[in-house]
Amino acid sequence: MKKIIVMCVFLAMTAGLLFSAELKFALVDTERVYNASKEKQTAQNVLEKEANDLNKQLEKKYNEVMSFEQSFREQAAFLSQEEGKKKQQELMVKQEEFNKLRGELNQKLARREAELMKPIFDKIRSIVTNLRKERDLDVIFDKSVTLSANDDLDMTDIVIERVNK
């Protein structure tokens, strides 16, 4: 019994020593870094230009649908019932094509945004990792997941400076 008690005390002391080692960490506001990066603005400009081009394509298709619909309404009184149904179905097909195109273009734009932003996020992650190693830190947390912390732990400005070099 005495051996068990001594063993428990020894384990407790060993565990206490292990957990008493100081954990070194810092914080980075990655959203602020991202928004302050020059590359983000460049990517945003490219994305806006491409979005405008896609919107022109979508607008052209929309105008075709609206023109067809207006023409159909003007002719509706003069069309036979069979011709009216046929034109109505054509209009529905055109509207479905427009909706499909809109969905495809939105997906294309979302993929392009992810493609343009990924290198920026990768660069930020790399800089944060290098900073952690340079400062001999155990962990760098994103500031967004921290409820409260000492401002001395915030390394956001350093990361922004390095991102924009």
Q: How many independent structural domains does the chain possess?
A: 1
Q: What is the CATH number of the domain that holds 144?
A: 3.30.910.20
Question: What does the pLDDT read at residue 4?
Answer: 60
* Whole-number pLDDT of residue 129: 96
pLDDT over threshold 90, residue 146: no
Look at residue 9 and tell me if it is in a domain. Answer: no
Judge whether residue 136 has pLDDT over 50.
yes
For the entire predicted model, the pTM comes to: 0.71
16 within a domain of the structure (yes/no): no
The verdict on residue 30 lying in a domain is yes
Beta-carbon contacts of residue 27 (< 8 Å; ≥ 6 apart): 140, 141, 142, 143, 146, 149, 153, 154, 155, 156
User: Quick one: average pLDDT of 147-155?
Assistant: 89
User: What mean pLDDT is predicted for residues 64-81?
Assistant: 88
pLDDT of residue 3: 54
Q: 9 falls in which pLDDT band (50, 70, 90)?
A: very low
In a domain, 128, yes or no: yes
In a domain, 86, yes or no: yes
Residue 6 has pLDDT above 50, yes or no: no
Structural domain harbouring 53: 22-163
